[in-house]
């Protein structure tokens, strides 16, 4: 089956098997930020953006990206690095395994909700599993990042 799509801003055409999962396809293409975790759509480690919306690549067929724009962490290094410094400053990245999926969800949330409340942040990120910290530090880092971004816009 032939599909065409944009991966991290680059237009591509690929031949795939009809039953291939998106996580396997993306990892074959060198997108190693897409982590394999629970494989049951419960942990959020495999989150990627398709048309700016977060999807779980472990439960999505690669055929579903035909004609769509897909972004992985590899395609948003500058943004991830900027936000990652806020995670690090709050001690929110202990092992770092959940960070790619978590960061993808944060940017999807910010695309959808311009000024999320703390409650909206917690609700939006409920599908991410972090075994190290329990999201207190992550929530604080998001709030500080939002304040920083707002100050930049107002300047």
Closest of 44, 50, 69, 68 to residue 124, by C-alpha? 44
Report the distance separating Cα 111 and Cα 105, nearest Å: 10
pLDDT confidence of residue 63: 98
Structure-token pair, residue 120? 């909206």
Helices 136-154, 99-112: inter-axial angle, 10-degree rounding: 40
For 89, which DSSP code? H
81: number of Cβ within 10 Å: 10
Q: Report, in this order, helix, strand and coil percent for the chain, each rounded to 5.
A: 45, 15, 40
CATH 1.10.150.120 is right for the domain spanning 76-154: yes
pLDDT tens digit string along 7-54? 999 999 999 999 999 999 999 999 999 998 887 887 888 999 999 999
For the chain, where do the domains classified as CATH 1.10.150.120 start and end? 76-154
pLDDT tens digit string along 74-114? 999 999 899 988 988 888 777 777 788 888 988 999 889 98
For the chain, where do the domains classified as CATH 3.10.20.30 start and end? 2-74
Closest of 26, 35, 20, 21 to residue 5, by C-alpha? 26
Fold adopted by 2-74: Ubiquitin-like (UB roll) (3.10.20)
**pTM of the predicted protein model:** 0.89
For 76, which DSSP code? -
Q: What are phi and psi of 152, to 5 degrees?
A: -65, -40
């Amino acid at each position: 089956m032939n599909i065409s799509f944009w991966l991290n801003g680059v237009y591509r055409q690929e031949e795939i098997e009809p039953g291939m999962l998106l996580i396997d396809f993306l990892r074959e293409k060198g997108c190693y930020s897409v982590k394999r975790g629970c494989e049951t759509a419960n942990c959020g480690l495999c989150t990627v953006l398709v048309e700016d919306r977060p999807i779980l690549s472990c439960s999505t067929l690669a055929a579903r990206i035909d004609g769509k724009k897909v972004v992985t962490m590899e395609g948003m290094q500058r943004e991830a690095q900027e936000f990652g410094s806020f995670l690090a400053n709050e001690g929110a990245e202990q092992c770092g395994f959940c960070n790619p999926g978590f960061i993808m969800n944060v940017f999807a949330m910010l695309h959808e909700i311009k000024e999320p409340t703390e409650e909206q942040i917690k609700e939006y990120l409920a599908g991410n599993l972090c075994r190290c910290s329990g999201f207190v530090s992550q929530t604080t880092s998001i709030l500080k990042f939002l304040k920083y971004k707002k100050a930049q816009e107002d300047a």
